[in-house]
Amino acid sequence: MKVQTPLMQVEKLSVEFGNKVRAVRDVDLTVYEGETLGLVGESGCGKSTLGKAMLRVIEPSSGAIRYRGLNITDLRGTVLRSTRAELQMVFQDPFGSLNPRRKVADIVAEPLLRARGADKKTARETALDLLDLVGLGREAGERRPHEFSGGQRQRIGIARALAPGPRFVVADEPVSALDVSIQAQVINLLADLTRDRELTMLFISHDLGVVRHVADRVAVMYLGEIIEIASRDAFFAAPAHPYSEALLSSVPQLSQEPRERIVLEGELPDPAAPPPGCTYHTRCRYAVDKCRTTPPPLAEVQPGRSVRCHLPLIAITERPNA
Ligand code: SF4
Ligand code: MG
């Protein structure tokens, strides 16, 4: 087995918004060098907030962020800027994040100028090379964002993220805004780049079908907490958390018996007032009394697999009210 080196780690990380909503609650999570970790969950569960906090785009309210062993939680000024060069983000809506008035070459060169202090000529050359690499050609640099389709704009967004030579990339729903016919192309591009450039990636998506294609491991979030983390194969073979089971039941199975479709009851509870005990108990079909009062810890149930549940699905054979 390959030795795993932690590249990005968060410890007891919380992000609170002004109204005391804890969007991310005491998260411990490690992303290992070279892996793609898929982060899944319903919209509003805190995935994007966690991804942005890792990059110090959003300030955590407590906890620590370690990048290559260095505590970057309180970095400021030039040290933060140079560290940021290695930590980049690909956004869901590339158009919203591309300045419509600037030429594409300038947009892609910008983070290289800002984060690495590169000279203009070098930055421009790098930008044009990257536009070529992502399949748009160097001539794309002279055009403006509105001249491109959605998929092409996401390629521009990817080129921009790669410009400063990152080691860690957070891709936040990078294909959700694209036509299904285009999604596979952009996913394959990201997968190729991740491999060729030895990138480590946090791939945020609500789409488990997409995550299955790109992720080595999968982490599931619910109401600001990680509720399951497992290897991709273990996760898709047999979910261990009841919420994972419900999410997975809606993903078409390729070569297996169709799963029973579990309809999630009710809405995601208000993150400002999470239910007591296990926060999933209001929607869980296996909930017992203990679940309503005692929060379960995130506990290892198999090597490399942790679950936040009193009654993980893979560890027991008989369930009280199943
Ligand atoms: Fe369901 Fe209880 Fe497990 Fe929570 S702890 S997921 S309510 S069985
Ligand atoms: Mg989001």
Q: Which H helix or E strand runs over 109?
A: helix 104-116
Ligand 1 contacts CB of residue 311 (under 6 A): yes
Ligand 1 contacts CB of residue 112 (under 6 A): no
State the pTM of this model. Answer: 0.93
Structural contact between residues 167 and 86, judged by C-beta atoms closer than 8 angstroms: yes
Closest by Cα among 160, 178, 155, 157 to 110: 160
Cβ-Cβ contacts under 8 Å for 300 (sequence gap 6 or more):
306
Q: Which residue has the tokens 């000024």?
A: 77
pLDDT at 318: 42
Ligand 1 atom with minimal separation from the 281 CA: 7
Cβ-Cβ contacts under 8 Å for 281 (sequence gap 6 or more):
275, 287, 291, 292
Considering every ligand atom, which ligand is closest to the CA of 205?
2
Q: What is the mean pLDDT of each run of 10 residues along the chain (322 residues)?
A: 86 90 94 97 92 94 96 90 91 82 96 87 96 97 95 95 96 92 92 95 95 96 97 95 93 63 78 92 96 97 95 65 47
pLDDT at 97: 79
Considering every ligand atom, which ligand is closest to the CA of 206?
2
- Is the dihedral angle over the CA atoms 157, 159, 164, 167 positive or is it negative? positive
| Beta bridge partners of residue 308, listed in sequence order | none
pLDDT at 220: 98
DSSP for residue 237: H
pLDDT at 10: 97
Query: From ligand 1's centre to the CA of 142, what distance in Å?
Result: 55
E-strand ranges in the chain read 6-16, 22-32, 36-40, 62-67, 70-71, 87-90, 168-172, 200-204, 217-222, 225-231, 299-302, 305-307
pLDDT at 34: 96
Ligand 1 contacts CB of residue 286 (under 6 A): yes
pLDDT at 265: 72
Query: From ligand 1's centre to the CA of 232, what distance in Å?
Result: 22
Structural contact between residues 231 and 304, judged by C-beta atoms closer than 8 angstroms: yes
pLDDT at 263: 72
Query: From ligand 1's centre to the CA of 198, what distance in Å?
Result: 38
pLDDT at 319: 46
Cβ-Cβ contacts under 8 Å for 183 (sequence gap 6 or more):
175, 210
Considering every ligand atom, which ligand is closest to the CA of 177?
2
Structural contact between residues 278 and 310, judged by C-beta atoms closer than 8 angstroms: yes
Query: From ligand 1's centre to the CA of 220, what distance in Å?
Result: 14
185 φψ region: left (φ > 0), alpha (ψ -120 to 50), beta (else) = alpha
> Ligand 1 atom 5: the closest Cα is on which residue?
309
